[in-house]
């Protein structure tokens, strides 16, 4: 991996120090915590490389209950009281927006009594640089956007604008009366996640020569790798400055120390290897798969299915179950660049209010049932493939518990079952994901040399597999993976399988270096424990 230098090294060292504090900082006594609260805080603070094993996952949502009937802080605290392992989340409005104390006060004070971690969801913080007149209309040479005047409604941010403006904008988000009041109500949270939607348009590396500032510095004719490097380096500086401004304006020392900054999709491209132009979405350079682990403390990586009729699904090769196989090596790369990188999954069932885009309606038009159980089956596969710190269910801001609560609970229950079952806990913490060397990942377009021999295929062969070669529209009836513990001849495997389109009986699943087992698989997924010693495959309840 590329050695860090200059300001980027300083930014990362701050993140590492924070990670060490969170790993070994003080915790409240058991007398002030319920069992669920203890679990939530303990797992949120456990480092990825702990001797206790991999941290168990937590659950959350992108819907923070701004609209009545949504997934509000009070709803969350009630669910935690019933045993759901949720990391509380709140809406963080843009600077200058009024928001009622009643939304925050009760839940924040309950979280303080339980000493729970907190998270705050918001639009992209740097968007102020694009729409506030004092930044948007600055002279070209100091404008944070690509041009001083842009015809489109949302300008592209420039990686070559003044860094100090990013710091200044960051400070506006946390210097608000609201944030000061929250810190008074809860002065010592063990962890505070600030989560950005991170979808502000930015200058693409392929557009570099449209930037006069790029041309003034570097001239014409630079290679694609050069453009990706200098633009990636520039984003690292600016996003760390933005977050530095946010941290500096926090009032209490504990909030300053325990704040971490997470960006949606601040990770690797989900399209890695799927099409020949996937690198347009990427800032890959040799020995750095992306700059984002150096620019952020963590990522909420996209997962799930899109709502559009012609898009990915949960039952074809063009699916999250397949494209997230790339996340396995990407998560290792992220932790090499930033040992404290917080990786969560943003899962989605594709539900939209427009029936022409809504995945539930699209599947119904195909004669399929898209139940919460089927959604859970896909979510569990992706969870056990990637084993993230948290699984964040996507809901639009105006969705409600009455409309989508069962789908959110499919995610929460998929997390909670790990805490209830000792076998699942043990495999989550300590097991190794089993690679399937018998088939090649179909996402093979323009793979960089350093990743051509990287394990990227974990789907197990089954007796129902269609013949190859597989394409994006191939439909595997069963998606199965395995994790292994121990060494030969005392190994044991956890096999998870789900069949999105209906129950399948007498399915043969081949476990590399073991052999075949015969199982029943349903849409919501089934777990089996297999032991090398006695050759049995027993279902887990």
3 state SS for 338-350:
CCCCEEEEEECCC
Q: Select from 169, 171, 180, 175 the least CA-distant residue to 101.
A: 180
Q: Looking at residue 19, what is its pLDDT? A: 56
CA distances from 43 to 29, 32, 192, 361, 389 (A): 15, 17, 14, 37, 8
The total number of residues shown for the chain amounts to: 541
Residue 142 confidence class, pLDDT cut points 50, 70, 90: very high
Tell me whether residue 448 is exposed, middle or buried, using C-beta atoms within 10 angstroms of its C-beta: 0 to 12, 13 to 18, 19 or more.
middle
179-197: average pLDDT? 98
In a domain, 272, yes or no: no
Rounded Cα distance between 270 and 285, Å, is: 17
Q: Looking at residue 98, what is its pLDDT? A: 82
Residue 18 confidence class, pLDDT cut points 50, 70, 90: very low
In a domain, 377, yes or no: no
Other C-beta atoms lying within 10 Å of the C-beta of residue 171: 18
462-474: average pLDDT? 95
Rounded Cα distance between 209 and 304, Å, is: 35
59-75: average pLDDT? 96
Q: 135-144, 153-162, 384-393: lowest mean pLDDT where?
A: 153-162
Rounded Cα distance between 98 and 94, Å, is: 9
Single residue among 264, 286, 309 that ends a domain in this structure:
264
On whether the CB atoms of residues 166 and 135 are closer than 8 A, the answer is no
In a domain, 466, yes or no: yes
Residues 6 or more apart from 281 whose CB is under 8 A from it?
A: 269, 271
Alpha helices in 220-368 (DSSP H): 224-248, 253-258, 292-295, 320-323, 325-337, 359-365
Alpha helices in 297-450 (DSSP H): 320-323, 325-337, 359-365, 372-386, 401-420, 422-430
In a domain, 151, yes or no: yes
Q: Looking at residue 153, what is its pLDDT? A: 53
Whether the predicted pLDDT of 413 surpasses 90: yes
127-131: average pLDDT? 93
Rounded Cα distance between 263 and 197, Å, is: 6
Rounded Cα distance between 496 and 478, Å, is: 10
| Residue 304 in tokens | 């799930």
Q: Looking at residue 339, what is its pLDDT? A: 96
In a domain, 510, yes or no: yes
Rounded Cα distance between 83 and 98, Å, is: 33
Alpha helices in 58-100 (DSSP H): 73-81
Whether the predicted pLDDT of 455 surpasses 90: yes
Residue 541 confidence class, pLDDT cut points 50, 70, 90: confident
In a domain, 450, yes or no: yes
Q: Tell me the range of 20-29, 319-328, 354-363 where mean pLDDT is highest.
A: 319-328
Q: Looking at residue 356, what is its pLDDT? A: 87
Residues 6 or more apart from 163 whose CB is under 8 A from it?
A: 237, 238, 241
Q: Looking at residue 7, what is its pLDDT? A: 33
Strand ranges across the sheet with 390-393: 58-61, 390-393, 342-347, 298-302, 259-264, 192-196, 118-122, 89-91
Q: Select from 491, 489, 490, 493 the least CA-distant residue to 458.
A: 493
Residue 147 confidence class, pLDDT cut points 50, 70, 90: low
pLDDT per residue as tens digits for the range 253-275:
999 999 999 999 999 998 999 99
Q: Looking at residue 128, what is its pLDDT? A: 96
Q: Which helix (H) or strand (E) holds 498?
A: strand 492-498
Beta-ladder partners of 122 = 196
Rounded Cα distance between 260 and 244, Å, is: 10
Whether the predicted pLDDT of 148 surpasses 80: no
Single residue among 221, 245, 264 that ends a domain in this structure:
264
183-211: average pLDDT? 96
Single residue among 196, 230, 264 that ends a domain in this structure:
264
Range of the domain at 147: 1-48+86-264
In a domain, 77, yes or no: no
Q: How many separate domains does the chain show?
A: 2
In 376-415, which positions are buried (b, 16+ CB within 10 angstroms) versus exposed (e)?
Answer: bbbbbbbbbbbbbbbbbbbbeeebebeebbebbbbbbbbb
Residue 31 confidence class, pLDDT cut points 50, 70, 90: very low
Our CA angle for 117, 267, 147, nearest 5°, is 105
Rounded Cα distance between 370 and 473, Å, is: 19
In a domain, 389, yes or no: no
Whether the predicted pLDDT of 196 surpasses 50: yes
């Amino acid at each position: 991996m590329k050695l860090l230098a200059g300001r980027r090294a300083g930014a990362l060292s701050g993140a590492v120090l924070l990670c060490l504090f969170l790993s070994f900082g003080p915790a409240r006594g058991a007398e002030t915590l319920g069992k669920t609260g203890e679990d939530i805080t303990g797992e949120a603070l456990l480092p990825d490389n702990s001797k206790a094993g991999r941290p168990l996952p937590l659950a959350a949502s992108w819907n923070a209950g701004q609209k009545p009937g949504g997934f509000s802080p009070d709803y969350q605290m009630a669910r935690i009281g019933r045993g759901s392992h949720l990391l509380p989340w709140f809406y963080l409005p843009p600077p200058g927006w009024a928001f009622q104390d009643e939304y925050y006060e009760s839940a924040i004070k309950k979280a303080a009594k339980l000493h729970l971690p907190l998270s705050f969801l918001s639009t992209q913080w740097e968007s102020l640089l694009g729409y506030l007149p004092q930044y948007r209309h600055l002279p070209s040479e100091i404008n944070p956007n690509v041009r001083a005047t842009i015809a489109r409604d949302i300008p592209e941010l420039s990686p070559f604008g003044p860094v100090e403006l990013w710091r200044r904008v960051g400070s506006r988000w946390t210097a608000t009366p609201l944030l000061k009041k929250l810190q008074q109500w809860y002065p010592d949270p063990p962890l505070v996640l600030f989560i950005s939607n991170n979808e502000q348009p930015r200058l693409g590396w392929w557009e570099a020569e449209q930037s006069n500032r790029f041309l003034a510095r570097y001239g014409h004719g630079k290679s694609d790798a050069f453009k990706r490097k200098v633009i990636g380096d520039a984003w690292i500086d600016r996003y760390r400055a933005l977050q530095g401004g946010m941290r500096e304006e926090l009032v209490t020392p504990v909030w300053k120390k325990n704040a971490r900054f997470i960006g949606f999709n601040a990770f690797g491209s989900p399209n890695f290897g799927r099409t020949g132009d996937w690198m347009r979405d990427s800032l890959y350079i040799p020995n750095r798969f992306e700059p984002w682990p150096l620019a952020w403390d963590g990522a909420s990586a996209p997962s799930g299915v899109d709502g559009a009729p012609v898009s990915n699904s949960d039952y074809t090769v063009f699916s999250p179950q397949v494209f997230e196989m790339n996340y396995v090596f990407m998560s290792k790369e992220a932790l090499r660049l930033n040992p404290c990188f917080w990786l969560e999954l943003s899962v989605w069932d594709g539900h939209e209010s427009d029936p022409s885009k809504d995945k539930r309606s699209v599947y119904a038009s195909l004669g399929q049932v898209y139940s919460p159980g089927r959604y859970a089956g896909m979510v569990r596969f992706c969870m056990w493939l990637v084993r993230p710190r948290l699984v964040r269910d996507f809901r639009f801001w105006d969705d409600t518990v009455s409309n989508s609560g069962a789908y959110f609970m499919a995610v929460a229950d998929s997390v909670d079952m790990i805490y209830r079952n000792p076998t699942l806990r043990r495999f989550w913490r300590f097991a190794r994901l089993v690679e399937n060397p018998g088939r090649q990942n179909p996402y093979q377009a323009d793979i960089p040399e350093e990743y051509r021999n990287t394990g990227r295929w974990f789907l197990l062969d089954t007796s129902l597999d269609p013949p190859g070669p597989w394409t994006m529209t191939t439909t595997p009836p069963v998606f199965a993976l395995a994790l292994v513990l121990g060494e030969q001849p005392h190994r044991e495997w956890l096999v998870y399988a789900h069949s999105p389109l209906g129950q399948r009986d007498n399915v043969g699943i081949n476990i590399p270096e073991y052999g075949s087992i015969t199982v029943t698989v349903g849409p919501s997924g089934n777990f089996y424990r297999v032991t090398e010693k006695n050759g049995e495959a027993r279902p887990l309840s």
